[in-house]
Amino acid sequence: MNLLIASVPCCRGSRWIAGVLLSLGLAIGAGTLFGDDADGSLTDENWTPPKGLPVFEFPEDNRPSADKIALGKQLYFDKRLSQDMTISCASCHDPAKGWSDGEVTSTGVGNQKGGRNSPTIINSVYNQFHFWDGRAGSLEEQALGPIQNPIEMNMKLDLALERINKIPGYREQFEKIFDGPATEKNLAQAIAAYERTIVSGDAPYDRYAAGDKDALSESAQRGLDLFFGKAVCSACHSGPNFTDNAFHNIGVGMDKDKYDKGRVVVTGLGGDTGAFKTPTLREIARTAPYMHDGSMKTLEEVVEHYDQGGIDNPWLSEDIFPLELTEQEKKDLVTFMKEGLSSESYPNHKPPRLPE
């Protein structure tokens, strides 16, 4: 058994989650949870998470169901949740773009530009905090933020609910699933239930770690050794989801006269100045540009930043210091991240038909 999976306790056990998955009629195949191409072969006896990922716990008050996830998916792709009906969750977290948007900073209603890069929501089910500054403690809380943000979807929540409840197809689904119309709580629950299905594992790294020594090229293997060794990437990008779920100041943007203060705005703790959440590195090759401000276009730039020891400032993390990597070591490290952490079972979900 994969030790990373075995080390994480399962809420009610994997057989309970397997039963849920079976009821959804969704097959994992090569490791895709809740994929679009179900083959009906899933059983309690053969279900396992994608290689490298632990079983996760669902909130007690938001257990998944096929109907709830389908509703959440429709809402996720529906631009009618924005004030001018031009922006959906998928606009900034697009499956075709690594569940990000490929932009330096995201564009909201009225072509307004936000101040931060759109983070991927891949494997967000494993996150302890959401948004770059961690201001949301659950996916349910996170789901309502962009809808109300004036430079994202700019929709007052009462108006969003009024609009949704006027759509017969939505009204029928909410009545069936939640025994009533759309509310602030169940709107968030539906979207969050869908977002928990966006999971990526079973990458070449996972197969290599499980004993398949041909899963990684020689360059990627050298990069793996660097990742967990000389380059000390794993000091922050640790665990099965390659994040410590913590916040660090790595110097990005701190050389500007006006810099993003990050986590300190949430906690009020001076040491959190300029600190941002460690993102997952799963599918990292798909989610450029990088960093909270989208200032780095390539992984090569990211590695160079760390090799130089970040940008010095009073709150720089103690884990950031010059690495003195050779040019070949830098290439190998990038190869590992691109090759080793990209999965063939990437969850490239297609937009659903929306209710009328």
List, by residue number, the catalytic residues: 152
Let me know how long the chain is: 356
Q: Are 133 and 260 in contact (CB under 8 A)?
A: no
Q: What is the DSSP string of 169-191?
A: HHHHHHHHHHSSS--HHHHHHHH
Element (H, E) at 221: helix 218-227
Q: Which residues pair with 130 in a beta bridge?
A: 136
* Distance between CA atoms of residues 38 and 25, nearest Å: 6
Element (H, E) at 247: strand 247-248
- Assigned token pair, 208: 């290599």
* Distance between CA atoms of residues 299 and 185, nearest Å: 39
Q: Are 284 and 301 in contact (CB under 8 A)?
A: no
* Distance between CA atoms of residues 315 and 274, nearest Å: 7
Q: Apex CA 186: angle with CA 169 and CA 73, to 5°? A: 55
Q: Which residues of 258-278 are buried (b: 16+ CB within 10 A; e: fewer)?
A: ebbebbbebbeeeebbbbbbb
Tracing tokens 């609009």 back to the chain, one arrives at 163
* Distance between CA atoms of residues 178 and 161, nearest Å: 14
CB-CB neighbours of 72 under 10 Å:
25
- Assigned token pair, 220: 């990627």
